[in-house]
Amino acid sequence: MRKPFVAGNWKMNTDSHSSVSLAKDVAAGTSEIAGHKIDVAVIPPFVYIQSVAKVLSASSVAVGAQDIYTEKQGAFTGEISASMLRDIGCTYALCGHSERRHVIGEQDELINKKVSAAISGGLLPILCVGELLEERQSDKTGEVVTRQIKAGLAGLGAEKVSAVTVAYEPVWAIGTGLTATPQQAQEAHNLIRRLLGEMYDGQLAEEIRILYGGSVKPDSAAELMGQQDVDGLLVGGASLSADDFVAIVKGAV
Ligand code: PEP
């Protein structure tokens, strides 16, 4: 049985005050279910991670980072390592979020190094994959997602891959208000699970959690979660409202 997992990606939003109060409200609203019925995480901007982690330390809500660098330490101006993030209370790290792929220009090879660095540094990577609108329209979803999964996990053995969560996030659904239908999500998640079974083994594929992300709202959470291979949700815009995010977490149990 895969425990459901809902994570809120705050992207480049909030400030020193609102990040802490949002985190407190999420912890209060999910206190009866977080940790035992469902894993819950918030993913603030780097600069607010430490204060958010502090207010969440007495709760079962985990903290994640939106990105990491590939190296442990050294002359890499502006970058932040997995071990630094772990040191300030992070559990998870997004790797290859679509905005990093398509706005910043990250390629599969770099994302693969980040997944590996996250695991070596003691973080649990959330590998994000998903197709562009034109790729879906030209029937390339399977091809694109297969390439991103194979490249993102290249060189990692089953033991390391068991630390990974996959997030399927069709790029055309992120921040657009368009959500994949539950059937479209299920089809992509099933493809990913079968692929993991071919790359590793059936048991590992059954254990890995695959989250859906793309304009998830309180009213779409339960139906998406009702799909066999949808194990959780990666929520962007709606995670900036404690009420909406808590409702999504409750809808995902
Ligand atoms: C995301 O940032 O991963 C995301 C899914 O954003 P949104 O929910 O706003 O589409």
- Looking at ligand 1, which atom is closest to the CA of residue 237? 9
Q: Tell me the pLDDT tens digit for each residue of 7-53.
A: 999 999 999 999 999 999 999 999 999 999 999 999 999 999 999 99
Distance in Å, CA 186 to ligand 1 centroid: 18
Encoding tokens for residue 5?
Answer: 């997992």
Q: Mean pLDDT over residues 100-109, rounded?
A: 97
**Rounded-to-integer distance, Cα 38 and Cα 63, Å:** 14
Residue 179 is predicted with a pLDDT of 86
Residue 102 is predicted with a pLDDT of 96
Q: Is 216 in the pocket of ligand 1 (CB under 6 A)?
A: yes
**Under a CB-based contact definition with an 8 Å cutoff, are residues 224 and 183 in contact?**
no
Distance in Å, CA 75 to ligand 1 centroid: 32
Q: Let me know the angle formed at the C-alpha of 140 by 233 and 189, rounded to the nearest 5 degrees.
A: 25
What count of other Cβ atoms lies within 10 Å of the Cβ of residue 128?
A: 27
Encoding tokens for residue 220?
Answer: 């779409």
Residues that are catalytic? 97, 169
Q: Is a pLDDT exceeding 90 seen at residue 177?
A: no
Q: Is 175 in the pocket of ligand 1 (CB under 6 A)?
A: yes
Confidence of residue 178 (pLDDT cuts 50, 70, 90): confident
Confidence of residue 163 (pLDDT cuts 50, 70, 90): very high
Q: Mean pLDDT over residues 74-84, rounded?
A: 98
Q: Is 169 in the pocket of ligand 1 (CB under 6 A)?
A: yes
Distance in Å, CA 93 to ligand 1 centroid: 15
Residue of 94, 174, 176, 244 best suited for mutating to test ligand 1, as the one with most atoms within 8 Å of CB: 174
Give the single-character DSSP code of 171: G
Distance in Å, CA 74 to ligand 1 centroid: 32
> Looking only at Cα atoms, what is the longest distance across the chain?
48
Q: Is 174 in the pocket of ligand 1 (CB under 6 A)?
A: yes
Confidence of residue 1 (pLDDT cuts 50, 70, 90): confident
- Kindly report the protein residue whose alpha carbon is nearest to atom 2 of ligand 1: 236
Q: Is 70 in the pocket of ligand 1 (CB under 6 A)?
A: no
Residue with tokens 């995480």: 41
Q: Is 96 in the pocket of ligand 1 (CB under 6 A)?
A: no
Q: Mean pLDDT over residues 214-242, rounded?
A: 97
Average pLDDT, the chain: 97
